[in-house]
Amino acid sequence: MQSFLPHLDSLSLAAQVAQMVVVRASGHLFDHQIRYPAWEPTAKILESWITDLGVGGVILLGGSAAEVALRTQQLQDWAQVPLLIAADVEEGVGQRFAGATWFPPPMAIAAVYQHNPDLAKHYAEQMAAITAQEAQAIGLNWVLAPLVDVNNNPDNPVINVRAFGETPETVSELATAFIRGAKPYPVLTVAKHFPGHGDTTVDSHLKLPVIPHDLDRLQQIELPPFQAAISAGVDSVMSAHLQIPALDPTYPATLSYKILTQELRHKLGFEGLIVTDALVMGAIADGYGANEAAVLAVEAGADILLMPVDPEGAIEAVCSAVDAGRITPEQIRDSVERIWTAKQKACAPPLKETTSHAWESIQPIVQPKELTAQLAQPTAIALVDSILQDSLRVHTPCLSRLANQLFQGSRNLIILDDALECDVIGNSTPAVTLPASKGYQLQLIDSHTPTDALNRASLHQPPTLLQLFIRGNPFRGSAGLNQTAQGWLQFLLDSEQLQALVIYGSPYILDQFAPTLPPNVPYVFSYGQMPQAQAIALEALFSAA
């Protein structure tokens, strides 16, 4: 082992177990910026977890990329042992941290794969390389991607467009391309969610889904992408909060020895880190005691406890389980040795010297003035454009209503889930500004709009451009048809006010809406919802007029 990691014999049992804990924190620097106080501790508590408890890592959410570059340095400065610092950046660093590159969801690349597999694999590999580079630039060293779930259920509320496809072949090819693209960089990757979260209709953030399939089906559909990811050298595998009776009729996968140890570790031969999905999620937190869940996860074979409800209590509970003989000291040591191996890859490269105090003298990975030269570079933006363009679905008939109607006075009706929590819509985003430049009047509807708004809608409203932002999102409970959007679409069709339709997000929504559209109504679908996607979609629409 390299000298910046202490020898295991010098660590107490509590210190070893603490290295197995990754806590959640805000990417913002100041306490008054915390958005999710139930999960994100204040600076004083977080510093205590890192300095006094010695937790092994932090997962961040929120803040700009530049702010997170400072935040990660702050966290590492607090740590005596270098931290794993993770983020869910499945769609690039810009998905979570403003200013960096934001890619469309992986299913956009799966759409490209249908007609050009080699190009799609190139896109997945380059997406991973850019994500890894930008993660490293701001101090992240654990990219919680790729998903290798096979989304073969259109009603899946939590995986949906986050998946690299709907067949094990597509997912395997694109996920391994992603892993290959990230491999040259000192960041860890993760294959999630084992043994496969694609065929569910329940969001495990809220409740425990059940996968009823037999072992033959699991071996044909769910497991092959994990086997491919392991063969490609993925650094870690994340468990799924799922009940799978064919593998374990008693415990969900995250807490199952049969699934994590017998299936993943032994049968599939995985030697890297096994990490739980967030233990605060409803599927686990609501069914098991917070501390007992941590013990069960370690008993099952987990090396990393992600976001336990009570980090200090989880550490104490696991130590007590070791003292009681439920868990052997050797198992804890084996887990920490795997963590040490991972930290050698993810944390060693910045070292400038090899003394035992090398970590204390590390300089920032990148100076603030250098960030603009490493984030959202023209080649990265061009790659996003290419993926969006190549996955776009456009229906613009020659006799488009757009060609025969004056834009001036038309209505731009945008429907989204929650405008107050939306990162993709604002006064300066293309979904608003491009129609406005042509004379459209904006109307915004979300979950806070009074429910009788549709009932009060006049039958004499102007021609309407309808823009829908609908995709599966964790914690929202359903990726199904947005009832508000369905009601407004039907009203606009019945009153012959629908001028054109743009859908951003889920192709399954388009598949449900398209058959109801008259053939002369143009529509455009984009997997992306970010401003870059809006501009490309609307330019495709208006260029047909």
Q: How far apart are CA 330 and CA 142, in angstroms?
A: 26
Contacts of 245 (CB under 8 A, 6+ apart): 210, 212
Same structural domain for residues 402 and 322?
Answer: no
Same-domain status, 244 and 117: yes
Could you give the 3-state DSSP secondary structure of residue 537?
helix
Instruction: Name the active-site residue from 277, 303, 395, 417.
Output: 277
**236 strand-pairing partners:** 190, 273
**What is the spatial distance between Cα 286 and Cα 280, in angstroms, rounded to a whole number?**
9
235 and 366 fall within a common domain: yes
Rounded to the nearest angstrom, the gap between the alpha carbon of residue 259 and the centroid of all alpha carbons in its chain is: 23
Q: Tell me whether residue 378 is in a domain.
A: no
Reading across the β-sheet that carries 84-87, which strands appear in turn? Answer: 142-143, 84-87, 57-61, 21-26, 305-306
Q: Hunting for tokens 């374990």 — which residue is that? A: 248
Give a three-class secondary structure readout of 420-472.
HHCCCCCCCCHHHHHHHHCCCEEEEECCCCCCCCCCCCCCCCCCEEEEEEECC
Structural domain of 134: 40-371
Residue 23 in any domain: the answer is: no
| 411 plus 359 within the same structural domain | no
- Single residue among 337, 371, 405 that ends a domain in this structure: 371
18 within a domain of the structure (yes/no): no
- pLDDT number for residue 243: 92
Catalytic residue (one of 205, 248, 395, 417):
205
Q: How far is the C-alpha of 471 from the C-alpha of 157, rounded, in Å? A: 9
Q: Which of 342, 371, 400 is the last residue of a domain?
A: 371
Residues 94 and 195 in one domain: yes
> Does any domain span residue 386?
no
Q: Is 122 annotated as catalytic? A: no
Helix, strand or coil for residue 243? Answer: strand
Q: Is residue 12 part of a domain?
A: no
Domain check: are 350 and 427 in the same one? no
pLDDT per residue, tens digit, the chain (545 aa), is 345 789 898 999 999 999 999 999 999 999 999 999 999 999 999 999 999 999 999 999 999 999 999 999 999 999 999 999 999 999 999 999 999 999 999 999 999 999 999 999 999 999 999 999 999 999 999 999 999 999 998 888 788 999 999 999 999 999 999 999 999 999 999 999 999 988 876 665 666 788 888 999 999 999 999 999 999 999 999 999 999 999 999 999 999 999 999 999 999 999 999 999 999 987 787 888 889 999 999 999 999 999 999 999 999 999 999 999 999 999 999 999 999 999 999 986 544 344 444 444 444 555 666 888 899 999 999 999 999 999 999 998 864 556 556 677 899 999 998 888 888 999 999 999 999 999 999 999 988 888 777 766 666 679 999 999 998 765 454 443 478 888 899 999 999 999 999 999 999 999 999 999 999 999 999 999 999 999 999 999 998 76
How many domains does the structure of the chain reveal?
2
| Structural tokens at position 432 | 């608003």
* 1 belongs to a structural domain: no
Mark which of 371, 404, 428 sits at the end of a domain: 371
The pLDDT value given to residue 534: 98
User: Is 7 domain-assigned?
Assistant: no
Instruction: Say yes or no: 498 and 459 in one domain.
Output: yes
Q: Which helix (H) or strand (E) holds 239?
A: strand 236-239
Query: Do residues 270 and 398 share a domain?
Result: no
Task: Look at residue 163 and tell me if it is in a domain.
Answer: yes
Same domain, 362 and 463: no
Q: Could you tell me the CATH number of the domain that includes residue 275? A: 3.20.20.300
Residue 310 is a catalytic residue: no
pLDDT score of 545: 67
The backbone torsions φ and ψ at residue 372, rounded to the nearest 5 degrees and listed phi first, read -65, -20
CA distance 135 to 69: 9
Query: What's the pLDDT score for residue 403?
Result: 56
Same domain, residue pair 276 and 333:
yes
CATH number at residue 463: 3.40.50.10870
One domain for residues 357 and 431: no
pTM: 0.93
Rg over CA atoms, the chain: 24
Task: Give dist(CA 382, CA 367) in Å, integer.
Answer: 25
- One domain, residues 362 and 297: yes
